[in-house]
Amino acid sequence: MTVTTDSYRARTSAPAPAKPLVLALHGTGGDEDQFFDLAHQLVPGAGVISPRGDVSEMGAARFFRRTGEGVYDMDDLARATAKMIGFIELQRGIHPGHPLFAFGYSNGANILASVLFERPALFDRVGLLHPLIPWQPHPHPGLSAKPVLITAGLRDPIAPWSATEQLIASLGTMGATVNSELHNGGHELRPEELAALSVHFAADA
């Protein structure tokens, strides 16, 4: 089902009994279809929530604005983070009692990370695929023991490994349970990353 709420145009499906919800967040230029079917494959029987970013960058959908590669409009990121929190709370209210898993790729990973730092209790498991977090997040007690998977390319020109390594260390310092899946390529998603994400979600599915 494709719906338009006051916040996002989104493609959604309801979970089977006792199955989780999966929030799927696309990268720059993607849309609500990019990871919808993948989310169903990752967690069979899950409900899927896949919103389209509300910002256009020369026609490419994103979840928040930037002024250059890796240079974020932090005011707009704050706006987008609050908006995404409201959207997730609405979806959780529609399907009470179901765990929420979430994953995002590139720009989707970045908005997901921002929400995670603000409201970790919204999520049961999180996957950040090729994130780039160029700000220092504040510690949050709700991150303690939160299961987080981070995937990355060691030669990624968009999300450099040095920044990803710092994010992994920061989350670990905050008490999150962090696992990683790395490959020798760039910004592309590889099958081993998706396999790791499937295992990550299967732990509680």
For residues 31-51, one letter each, b for 16 or more C-beta atoms within 10 angstroms of the residue's C-beta and e for the rest, the string is: bbebbbebbbebbeebbbbbb
What SS3 state is found at 135? coil
Quick check: is 56 catalytic? Answer: no
For residues 69-79, one letter each, b for 16 or more C-beta atoms within 10 angstroms of the residue's C-beta and e for the rest, the string is: eeebeeebbee
Q: Where are the alpha helices (DSSP H) in the chain?
A: 36-42, 74-94, 107-118, 161-173, 191-202
Residue 107: which residues within 8 A CB-CB, separation 6 or more? 25, 26, 27, 28, 53, 62, 63, 64
* Active-site entry in 40, 95, 140, 187: 187
Quick check: is 73 catalytic? Answer: no
**Closest by CA position to 8, among listed 61, 77, 71:** 61
> Are the beta carbons of 126 and 147 closer than 8 angstroms?
yes
Half-sphere exposure of 191 (CA within 13 A, CB side): 0
* Active-site entry in 106, 124, 130, 200: 106
Quick check: is 187 catalytic? Answer: yes
What SS3 state is found at 62? strand
Active-site residue set: 106, 156, 187
